[in-house]
Amino acid sequence: MQVIQRYTAKQHASQVTVPLLSSHVAAGFPSPADDYVEADLNLHDFAVKHPAATFFVRAKGESMVEVGIQSGDILVVDRALTPQNGDVVIAALDGELTVKQLQLAKNKAWLIPRNPQFKPIEITEHFDCVIWGVVAHSLHSFR
């Protein structure tokens, strides 16, 4: 999976908030709806914790489908977060941007695709690899 576009966060004077319902949506059997709004939700405040260190990228490819990242999804990437074992990250690998899961163990590091059709990439001295940031959110559109 590769990154095909990069967007940076900008501050806007007007922000839209939408209601956040306090009830959960059943993903199995339907449950009675609670007619209760918990609070207003501002998607910018929810998704962008560090505006100066956040950028958006559009994913392309199928290597991360097992973690819910589809081709065309917009990824919210936070450069202020320290990459940890298991994080989904944006990495520049020999100059090419890619999204993979970071695996760290015993002085070794791998970029792991989350699709069995793709092979893990061990980060060695043979690769020029820079972690650009941690994927904090994925925005997936159904229409």
Marked catalytic residue, from 60, 63, 119, 141: 63
Please answer whether residues 74 and 138 qualify as being in contact, where contact means their C-beta atoms are separated by less than 8 angstroms.
yes
Annotated catalytic, 100? yes
Annotated catalytic, 49? no
Please answer whether residues 100 and 89 qualify as being in contact, where contact means their C-beta atoms are separated by less than 8 angstroms.
yes
Marked catalytic residue, from 22, 49, 100, 108: 100
Please answer whether residues 59 and 3 qualify as being in contact, where contact means their C-beta atoms are separated by less than 8 angstroms.
yes
Q: And the tokens for 133?
A: 């940031």
Q: Write the CB contacts of 80 (distance below 8 Å, at least 6 apart in sequence).
A: 49, 50, 53, 54
- The residues assigned a catalytic role are 63, 100
